[in-house]
């Protein structure tokens, strides 16, 4: 007789700790645009919204009637020249891949210190429902700030085209007047 031993198979799920970038901000910043956590391509390139399929940078250049460029320094300058700060809700988290739905064990950035250091911030714009949800959960709303939800600039958010996203994002221009 042959004895068969069942050997259990384990499917190991490895998650990797992802660390966000420092904020892009200066003393003139009035608007804070918040994402959740940079995706894989952004982390690889060490650039906010680094995936070429993401619509964030085309939206920004369109809003300010500037020719689009892939030069990251020029992209950062565009934001700072227009009093826009950029950051993520999370400082770090565990996540497999780029999807916000895979985020686990999240740690929020220190917004109390950020707002103290940058008192000119008047409005917060979340670039995804997850960013808003995590901010509300971990930070809470401050009565001295105004909050707005924007459609995700992610290319994966295909139910809205670039032109419609740009139109919806144009509300930030009202804040800058």
**Of the residues 54, 82, 83, 109, which is catalytic?**
54
CB contact at 8 A, 175 and 31: yes
CB contact at 8 A, 131 and 35: yes
- Alpha-carbon distances of 34 from 14, 23, 60, 67, 143, rounded to whole Å: 27, 10, 14, 24, 18
Task: For residue 54, indicate whether it is catalytic.
Answer: yes
H-state helical runs in 109-169: 111-117, 129-138, 162-169
First vs last C-alpha separation in the chain: 85
| Phi, psi at 93, each rounded to 5° | -165, 170
Distance CA 82, CA 157 (A): 26
Catalytic residues, by residue number, are 54
């Amino acid at each position: 007789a042959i004895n068969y031993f069942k050997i259990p198979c384990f499917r190991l799920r490895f998650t990797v700790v992802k660390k966000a970038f420092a904020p892009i901000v200066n003393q003139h910043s009035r608007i804070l645009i918040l994402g959740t956590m940079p995706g894989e391509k952004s982390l690889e390139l060490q650039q906010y919204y680094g995936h070429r399929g993401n619509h964030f940078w085309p939206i920004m250049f369109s809003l300010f009637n500037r020719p689009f460029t892939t030069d990251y320094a020029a992209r950062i300058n565009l934001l700072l020249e227009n009093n826009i700060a950029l950051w993520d809700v999370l400082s770090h988290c565990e996540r497999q891949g780029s999807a916000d739905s895979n985020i686990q064990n999240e740690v929020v950035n220190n917004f109390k210190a950020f707002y103290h250091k940058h008192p000119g911030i008047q409005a917060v714009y979340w670039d995804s429902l997850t960013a808003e949800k995590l901010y509300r959960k971990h930070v809470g709303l401050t009565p001295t700030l105004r909050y707005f939800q924007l459609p995700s600039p992610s290319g994966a958010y295909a139910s809205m085209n670039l032109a419609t996203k740009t139109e919806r994002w144009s509300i930030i221009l009202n804040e800058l007047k």
